[in-house]
Amino acid sequence: MASSSGSDSDDSVQTEEERDSIREDLSKMSFEEIMKLKEQLGAKVYKEAVLGVNDDSTSKSHSKKPATFKRLNKNRPRELSAKRQVPFISIEQKKSSKTEERVADPRFDGNCGDFNVNHFKENYKFLSKVRLKDITRLRKQLRETTDNNERKALQVEIQRLANKNVEEKKWHIKQNQLKREKLEVQQAIQKGLRPHYVTKKERRAKELVTQFEQLKKSGKLSKHLEKRRKKNVAKDRRQLGFA
């Protein structure tokens, strides 16, 4: 065993001396001559003769021991290899990814600016006319249909659209009232008078008076009062525990 190990060490020393002599010869050659020599011998033989590198041994060592990437500091990110295979995406996955894209409405997206109620109501004021056309069409459909379930669904839809228009009308009336109140305050200040700021209680009283006059003109006052009376009776019964 000792003799074999001694012979191996002698061979390694001899080969190393040969490589040193080859390197010395190569140092005296030009770059073009070295490239020609490398083409004649081949890259594998050239590496073994000059550098002592064996491609088979290096490939085996690389296959056995995968590259491990370490961090220089625990607070730094880990270094990863960029040599990764691009994942295969099928046509079905592309279609599904397209369908799952979220579409943002710019009217309600905070990144597109602040939402202004007044501008929104004014810009979409035409929808009240569209609802009136829908109500006319649904009423015509209601007269023609005989199915009870369909009639109920149509009546609910007609009432919903009518209520929406009523709410829109009330909102615009209220905004006009607020504008008149602001204008009265500004005029009083310009005249040097003490302005009167309308309270919520006074504004609510004015709204009730306006609503009373409108119901009186349309002839629906008695029906409205009867509805309010039934609502108050039901409320009292719930409070007393009779409901």
Q: What is the mean pLDDT of residues 21-30?
A: 74
Percent of the chain exceeding pLDDT 70 equals 76
Q: What is the 3-state secondary structure (H, E, C) of the chain?
A: CHHHHHHHHHHHHHHHHHHHHHHHHHHCCCHHHHHHHHHHHCHHHHHHHHHCCCHHHHHHHHHHCCCCCCCCCCCCCCCCCCCCCCCCCCHHHHHHHHHCCCCCCCCCCHHHCCCCHHHHHHHCCCHHHHHHHHHHHHHHHHHHCCCHHHHHHHHHHHHHHHHHHHHHHHHHHHHHHHHHHHHHHHHHHHCCCCCCCCCHHHHHHHHHHHHHHHHHHHCCHHHHHHHHHHHHHHHHHHHHCCC
Give pLDDT tens digits for 185-203: 999 999 888 888 888 888 8
Q: Confidence class of residue 133 from pLDDT cuts 50, 70 and 90? A: very high
Residue 4 pLDDT exceeds 50: no
Residue 134 pLDDT exceeds 90: yes
Residue 77 pLDDT exceeds 90: no
